[in-house]
């Protein structure tokens, strides 16, 4: 008998839509895994009369949510966010993360920090023992200070590379640049590194997310989803 393989991202994203309750204000994360969540959420809104509104963490998510018919709000219009569902590039055993593969780290961190509950949806390949070995750490910087920030980041033990898209400098939704920082060793102390990076003048935000996630939904290709509370 042959078994068709499930897409782990879809498994996790769809499962996350079950966490949503009517009346909630939602933080809408960014990325391909979150897209599956948005599709399932839109389905629940359409079929089940679920009443929610979402604050998107990127222009990309805003556009997708609009197309799917998910009611939206800006951060200025809400006083609380009940639940945010977002993806990650790496997540460790303490639920600390590297995020920003899609370049949305700044708005993602703002929204996550305001959320009562943050659920992270990933395929099993994103779960790591220690951060920093499989994915470069994105750091958003103001273009004016890029070269000096690059030198300061290098002094912290990484190799920063300017992110490009289609051969041109990648520009975030906030009109900044991204330096992707490669480490040759695992990040020993994510909280200390986050503080050190944030202290560099010209840095807008780092993709280290420490202590922000409450639940991890890990999709597997056999169609199962592990849901683990912190
Ligand atoms: C965007 C992010 C994404 O959540 C992260 O890159 C994961 O993306 P995907 O689900 O497409 O693998 O942090 O800034």
Q: Do residue 19 and residue 91 come from a single domain?
A: yes
The residue range of the domain holding 193 is 137-205
Tell me the C-alpha distance between 204 and 146, whole Å: 11
pLDDT in tens, the chain (230 residues): 456 899 999 999 999 999 999 999 999 999 999 999 999 999 999 998 899 999 999 999 999 999 999 999 999 999 899 999 999 999 999 999 999 999 999 999 999 999 999 999 999 999 999 999 999 999 999 999 999 999 999 999 999 999 999 999 999 999 999 999 999 999 999 999 999 999 999 999 999 999 999 999 999 999 999 999 99
Q: Work out how many domains the chain is built from and give that number.
A: 2
Residue 172 covered by a domain: yes
pTM for the model stands at 0.96
pLDDT in tens, 191-208: 999 999 999 999 999 999
Tell me the C-alpha distance between 46 and 63, whole Å: 18
Q: Is the CB of 132 under 6 A from ligand 1?
A: no
Q: Do residue 149 and residue 59 come from a single domain?
A: no
Q: What is the CATH number of the domain that holds 157?
A: 3.30.70.260
Q: Do residue 197 and residue 220 come from a single domain?
A: no
Q: Which residues contact 192 (CB under 8 A, 6 or more apart)?
A: none
Q: Do residue 194 and residue 218 come from a single domain?
A: no
Q: Do residue 68 and residue 171 come from a single domain?
A: no
Q: Do residue 14 and residue 115 come from a single domain?
A: yes
Q: Do residue 30 and residue 92 come from a single domain?
A: yes
Residue 197 covered by a domain: yes
Q: Do residue 121 and residue 15 come from a single domain?
A: yes
Q: Do residue 46 and residue 98 come from a single domain?
A: yes
Q: Do residue 113 and residue 159 come from a single domain?
A: no
Residue 1 covered by a domain: no
Q: Do residue 111 and residue 225 come from a single domain?
A: yes
Of residues 62, 90, 108, 194, which has the active-site annotation?
A: 108
Q: Do residue 111 and residue 27 come from a single domain?
A: yes
Tell me the C-alpha distance between 11 and 223, whole Å: 6
Q: What is the CATH number of the domain that holds 41?
A: 3.40.50.1360
Tell me the C-alpha distance between 24 and 28, whole Å: 12
Q: Residue count of the chain, please give it.
A: 230
Q: Are 163 and 207 in contact (CB under 8 A)?
A: no
Q: How far is the CA of 1 from the centre of ligand 1 (A)?
A: 35
Q: How far is the CA of 202 from the centre of ligand 1 (A)?
A: 24
Residue 59 covered by a domain: yes
- Could you give the C-alpha distances from 129 to 6, 7, 153, 157, 161, in angstroms and in order? 24, 22, 24, 20, 24
Active site residue 18: no
Residue 3 covered by a domain: no
Residue 2 covered by a domain: no
């Amino acid at each position: 008998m042959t078994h068709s393989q499930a897409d782990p991202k879809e498994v996790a994203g769809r499962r996350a839509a079950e966490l949503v309750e009517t009346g909630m204000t939602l933080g809408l994360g960014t990325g391909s895994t979150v897209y599956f969540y948005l599709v399932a959420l839109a389905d629940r809104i359409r079929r089940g009369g679920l009443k929610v509104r979402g604050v998107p963490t990127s222009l990309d998510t805003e556009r997708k949510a609009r197309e799917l018919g998910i009611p939206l709000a800006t951060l200025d219009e809400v006083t609380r966010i009940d639940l945010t569902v977002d993806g990650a590039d790496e997540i460790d055993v303490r639920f600390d993360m590297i995020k920003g593969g899609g370049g949305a780290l700044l708005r993602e961190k703002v929204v996550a920090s305001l959320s009562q509950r943050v659920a992270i949806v990933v395929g099993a390949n994103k779960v790591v023992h220690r951060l920093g070995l499989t994915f470069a750490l994105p750091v958003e910087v103001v273009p004016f200070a890029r070269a000096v920030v690059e030198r300061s980041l290098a002094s912290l033990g990484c190799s920063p590379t300017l992110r490009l898209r289609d051969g041109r400098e990648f520009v975030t939704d906030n009109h900044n640049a991204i330096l992707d920082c490669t480490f040759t060793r695992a990040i020993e102390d994510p909280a200390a590194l986050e503080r050190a990076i944030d202290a560099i003048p010209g840095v807008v935000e780092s993709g280290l997310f420490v202590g922000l996630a409450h639940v991890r939904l890990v999709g597997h290709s056999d169609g199962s989803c592990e849901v683990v509370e912190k």
